[in-house]
Structure 1
């Protein structure tokens, strides 16, 4: 599928501000262009962006119900009540449980944690989990990354004499559960200044408020920000505001002194000794933590993240790495089967969304398969399987189509649903499957315009190769951590040519190792274009072409050089 390149030329005013910033900050004018595009127009704003401060974290007591939550937690500790820390089985949930458990551990021995089984209990708070709490004389449950819609289950817990503090970041319904406290910055009555926290981030704010109320040192909480960084990267929340601050310091912790559990995963990922980025978390660390809940039980991920000795961490990391290998095989198999179903659709060219169902598919990987289908066909995708008596599914979307709202509009056909703008989960009875499929496909047909079905590449700046040097890279790295709403900048260089030394590489010669020059350069710059062998003939013919890319540091045999990571190539025969 051909990418559409989008580039908005800076206005005269933007160029003026960029030049002023470049003079004041002594950094590349191109980097200042990128800052201005992000709404950063003053020296003070730029310095805050480059050097986030923990002092800029918001007062946790601005969140609705935070005072009630802290009061109930202090009561539980003072009266020596048993507390259960309960969380979802994905990365966000397991890191949140680990963070809250770790922080509370020094203050009570009456502490336990619980992760529901994806297959036996499903997403969120379960009756089985509440029964476990009741049978173990638990009086307070702190739920993390789930619970915002668990009205009946909170009522069930109350009947058993169990109180709930809910920490969630998903969209609430009009009616909230009758818990002691419901912490969610997305509540309609919330005045909290930042609504994009991860589930782990909400857990962090609860612990921040708890520490503040008891005059505990913030330093004890700061060292747990590595878990926040993992959740922020893995849950694909915006890297802005508080998330940027927590991710910035969390990455510092991961790179300087990670917990034993994270160190174990870093080792099995082959990242030891390398500077770990948000991208490493998204593609290597996060999937391994997730694999525990996908293939077995998410409790194993928490066991690992709470590990107290290196040997235990190593052993648990190797187990989780094995789950990840199994997950990859399963993911490929089911993706192939889903593609085969789509190949049989007679009207695929006219369809603006995809719904596929197979009762035998493994529930643990359908979210990944939905993501792969969205990437391949550039349409919203819902992947469904059978779980117990219900059909359950995961949905992923394309830019501009709110899949949560689309699924919410089918709520009369659903047993349960939840999620975000671009990712959601749902369950329904089998007799409602056809009606749901038809309504969802019609919603997509009515709302999605053809432009949304074409992959877009947003270009941040046009670069000459002479602009790419060590100083430029140093300034560019100041913009990290990268992620949603602060994506790694994509650059474009026009009418570049092969230096004469580019070549096909890879087992099947599917990649191109590039050595390129442009009109203003004599020495070549290196690049790698994965899976773009179809352009080889044009490139080797010494014909000009345009490239979109990110600029990376490539370390090999102890030597670091700059490399272009090519995202797209378009021949230029003008």
Structure 2
């Protein structure tokens, strides 16, 4: 293990000047600020993109409160992901500098339009770039941790908000004409870690190295943030001021920020993260909750339909190692989340597409060990366009090419994945007795947080756990349960998130006196200032 893993520090963050293209980009932005040029930040519409845009916006305004800086987010359904030619052409009419965040590394045609119009375009991105430098967009500068033709950055797994944070940091140091930021800008950078952490966690990048540092300190900043939008979103999401973890971002904050961009336009999500009006922040946060409720309903309907279609079409058989489905009635904005649900259900790469006339727009999600970007590259002759990375991607395809693409993609998956790859593996970290899961042990394990990709929550096996109290509903949705295990001396509360349906379908009713082997992840619960240990159920089986 990295000796710094348990003691993350901001000093572990790499010098931003090591990031390819960053000095040229920062110098150009500073020149634009000083010359009162019109700057527009062009962002993706997800949490990572919106957070990245807010980071740059705050830094530019800190350097000059009167800076002429605006933002542009494409409409997910009308414009799609990334830089698009029509939008860039229009922005060139009214701006002197365009800065992309979380998109653009493959945008050859839009970059050419900006060049021909003599408008400087700075691209900041983290998605998989072309393999050769010759395939890169002709931009004024490309800021990317792994750009061809440049010395790679020491940590290649930054998200879009992470790259934007590095650029904001470099802007602060260059503005100070030093390798260090002036004190007010240092304080702002620490504050902006809250936004960077939301991007890191929501974009599911590996939670190690710099990402771990950003997430750890960013979570702390969310609890005490001076940014009105962050505070309003935190309060609306039901997160208290005592504690927060990565799951709170993944299941509370991020879905709200994402929902409006999935079903409508994400501009209000970005406004929330930049507003200086308390009332406006509160109103937007409440509106995002309404959007999120609607997103849940739509997602649930599509997921049920897709699961049924996958089974009916034989795509869940052992000799069919990928799922590719298309339907004209599905909402394009939520099919990515539905992909994730199908991957969780059937554990194989999944692509869901929505047909609009003769064109299909799709989202893809993968499993560990299957690189989606490589798979789509291998099938690219059938695609109009695609982009993304190893675990998530998007694509556009003509409907008359869909069957050929489906066959090619499934054949590729069959050649790369074995039968055993389709079986989800659970790695147990340790076996323990109920009495060993005390507060001290839970606090020790908490030092491993924040948890996420490549730093999973500890999984503990408790053999022969005796049910002490019957399972009862947890919350009002009917999806969750809780029960207790133990005896008169020691008891442990077990929370079962989304287990109600699973147990019902399996005919399992947890009754006092029964004994089960449980896989659990311990947690510390804080309520009214009191801290106690409980655990989340990950799996169970009857004790032999």
User: Is 2:101 the counterpart of 1:140?
Assistant: no
Contact 2:194 2:225 in 1 (8 A): no
Q: Is the 8 A contact 2:60 2:67 kept in 1?
A: no
Contiguous gaps of at least 5 residues in structure 1: 1-38
**Residues 1:524 and 2:491 are matched in the alignment:** yes
**Equivalent position of 1:53 in the other structure:** 9
- Distance in 2 separating the partners of 1:533 and 1:139: 59
Structure 1 residues 352-431: aligned runs within 5 Å: 352-387=321-356, 390-431=359-400
1:560 to 521, 531, 534: 531
Residue 111 (structure 2) aligned to one of 136, 154, 177? 154
Distance 1:153 1:233 in 2: 29
Higher relative contact order (CA 8 A, sep 6+): 1
Mapped pair 1:287 → 2:274: no
Distance 1:457 1:346, change over 3 A: closer
State which of 225, 228, 249 in structure 2 corresponds to 1:257.
Answer: 225
> Paired residue for 1:311?
279
Equivalence map 1:49-448=2 (5 Å): 49-106=5-62, 107=64, 108-136=66-94, 138-173=95-130, 174=132, 175-188=135-148, 189-215=150-176, 216-217=181-182, 218-346=186-314, 348-349=316-317, 350-387=319-356, 390-448=359-417
CA pair 511-184 structure 1, distance change in 2 beyond 3 A: closer
What's the CA shift for 1:514?
3.0
Partners of 1:423 and 1:213 in 2: CA distance:
35
Identify if the C-alpha distance between structure 1 residues 77 and 441 changes in structure 2 by more than 3 Å, giving closer, same or farther.
Answer: same
Label 1:513 to 1:536 Cα distance change in 2 as closer, same or farther (>3 A).
farther
Check the 8 A contact 1:95/1:230 in 2, yes or no. Answer: yes
TM-score, normalised to structure 2, is 0.92
Which deviations, in whole Å up to 9, do the C-alpha atoms of 1:335-360 show, x marking residues without a partner?
Answer: 12222322321464232111110123
Measured at CA, do residues 230 and 63 of structure 1 come closer, stay the same or move farther in structure 2, by a change above 3 Å? same
- Where 2:250 maps in the other structure, the secondary structure is helix
Q: Aligned partners of 1:273, 1:85: CA distance in 2, in Å?
A: 32
1-side partners of 2:399 and 2:430: how far apart? 50
Is contact 1:551-1:563 (8 Å) kept? Answer: yes
**Contact 1:225 1:253 (8 Å CA) reproduced:** yes
Q: For 1:376, what is the secondary structure of its paired residue?
A: helix
Task: Structure 2 unaligned segments of length 5 or more: list them.
Answer: none
- Counterpart-to-counterpart distance in 1, 2:477 and 2:51: 39
List per-residue Cα deviations over 1:352-372 (Å, max 9, x = no partner).
111110123211011011111
Question: 1:452 aligned to 2:428?
Answer: no
Aligned-pair CA distance for 1:71: 2.3
2:433 to 459, 464, 481: 464
1:162, CA displacement in angstroms?
Answer: 1.0
Deviations 1:491-520 (A, max 9, x none): 111222234x334446898765333238xx
After TM superposition, give the deviation of residue 238 of structure 1 in Å. Answer: 0.9
Does the residue aligned with 2:174 lie in a helix, a strand or coil? helix
The residue matched to 2:427 in structure 1 has which SS? strand
Counterpart CA distance in 2 for 1:202 and 1:490 is: 32
Whole-Å separation in 1 of the counterparts to 2:214 and 2:444: 21
- The residue matched to 2:207 in structure 1 has which SS? coil
Following TM superposition, by how much is the alpha carbon of 1:386 offset from its aligned partner in structure 2, in angstroms?
2.5
Deviation (angstroms), 1:166? 0.7
Q: CA deviation at 1:66?
A: 1.7
Determine the C-alpha separation between the residues in 1 that align with 2:356 and 2:478: 42
What is the CA RMSD across the aligned residues, in angstroms?
2.2
- Residue 104 of structure 2 aligns to a residue whose secondary structure is coil
Against the structure 1 CA distance between its residues 70 and 347, is the aligned structure 2 distance closer, same or farther, given a 3 Å change threshold? closer
The 1:436/1:299 distance shift into structure 2, 3 A limit, reads: same
Number of residue pairs matched?
Answer: 525
Describe the shift of the 1:209–1:273 C-alpha distance in structure 2 as closer, same or farther (beyond 3 A).
closer
Q: Tell me by how many angstroms 1:524 deviates.
A: 2.2
